[in-house]
Amino acid sequence: MTSTVHTAESLVDRARGLRDIVMAEAAESERLRTLSPRVVEAMWDSGLMTAFNPAVAGGAEPSFAEMIETWIEMAWQDGSFGWVGIANLPSSFAAACYLPDTGFAEVFTAHDNRVTMGGQFFPNGQGAAVPGGYRLTGAWNFGSGIGHSQYVAAGFLPMDGTEMRWAGEGVPDMRVAILPREQVSFDDGWFVQGLKGTGSYDYSVTDVFVPEERTFALFTRSPLRGTSPATRMGLMPVTAAGHASWALGVAKSMLDDVEELAATKVRMSDMASLASRPTFQKGLAHHVAAWRAARLLVLDAFGAAEAHVAAGQELTPMLRADMRAAAVYATDVSRQCAEWAHLVAGTSAIREGSRLERAFRDMYTGTQHAFISEKVAIDAASIRLGLIDDQFGL
């Protein structure tokens, strides 16, 4: 099997090596409404596309700290590039870890691990149970990263006749199907405010047979491949780390760009440079400190859970709640940093196609995602307060 991961350099260094390509192609990706072919190929050449996979699927099995810093770097370069990073990489990670052996061989081994995957894991489909698998019908929105994906993930509810399956008391059985691209119908309606280059198309299938071995349980934490703690923590923590890291990366790009701009930026009514104004100095100090604190919280929350699992312990509801709450907090702080940077940059931030303008649009699009909504923070707090024992969606 071919491994595309270059172990001589860290994953962050590999991502950083793509800065020139990604930044040069950002406008083209927006025009295409999906990552440009040049950027996609660079992800393969750098080893990023399979980097988070288990080793048997060409990956490096990175720690959460490595994943977080890599995603921050990718989102710093361009919001769409970073968003595809938190879509494609966790999708292939989950499929490579949790697909049964026959399905893994069909999807990964048969393609020498050169597999790009994206899609929507929320169960917007129904799978009628039939011998050997399911007849899948459904429609999914915002399939991020599927513009260039060979396989598409689709969450669904298994159905026995007209009856829904249950995984536990009050908890429906939820599974993920991995579909070859040619079996999927795409609705290219991705005309949006931000994250334009992510190819987040809507898609659907009607009565498509999916063999059991090309499905896995959405909330499983029992890997069939891989030895890193992340494989035993499931898809939810990896996805949460991705959302937090993405927001932090976009916010950092805006803070860095405003700091660079400040030496020369003047306003018509005040010819003093932005950098010389005490109000700007205080604001910059505050928002950089807030950003650093949010990053450290994310590293701490995910690192603590990872260490717990690495020691052979079960991932507790409290640890899961802490990770999700940290992701929500980091997103909120990042949005505040972006708003401040956009405001102090003045007209420099409204020029169409500039990094500041694009990052601002991306931030206010990406932070609409339900995965880092206030409902998540409420669920996490309810566990901390002892109001509920667990929330399976965390």
Is residue 275 scored above 90 in pLDDT? no
Structure tokens of 60?
């490096």
61 phi, psi to nearest 5 deg: 50, 60
- pLDDT higher for 15 or 169? 15
- Residue 82's pLDDT is 98
Quick: pLDDT tens for 141-153. Answer: 999 999 999 999 9
Which residues fall within 8 angstroms of residue 364, CB to CB, at 6 or more apart?
Answer: 193, 194, 335, 338
Quick: pLDDT tens for 180-217. Answer: 999 999 998 899 999 999 999 999 999 999 999 999 99
Are 202 and 187 in contact, with CB atoms under 8 Å apart?
Answer: yes
Q: Which residue has the tokens 């307060």?
A: 385
Quick: pLDDT tens for 77-90. Answer: 999 999 999 999 99
Pairwise CA distance, residues 271 & 265, whole Å: 9
Are 226 and 55 in contact, with CB atoms under 8 Å apart?
Answer: yes
- Residue 265's pLDDT is 75
CB atoms near residue 34 (< 10 Å) = 25
**pLDDT level of residue 268 (50, 70, 90 thresholds):** low
Quick: pLDDT tens for 344-360. Answer: 999 999 999 899 999 99
Is residue 103 scored above 60 in pLDDT? yes
In our burial notation (b when 16+ CB lie closer than 10 A, e otherwise), range 77-99 reads: bbbbbbbbbbbbbbbbbbbbbbb
Tell me which amino acid residue 393 is: G
- Residue 171's pLDDT is 86
Provide Rg for the chain, Cα atoms. Answer: 21
For the chain, list the domains and their CATH numbers. 11-98 (1.10.540.10), 117-217 (2.40.110.10), 229-385 (1.20.140.10)
Quick: pLDDT tens for 165-179. Answer: 998 888 899 999 999
Pairwise CA distance, residues 317 & 337, whole Å: 30
Is residue 5 scored above 50 in pLDDT? no
Q: Which residue has the tokens 């699009």?
A: 365
Is residue 4 scored above 90 in pLDDT? no
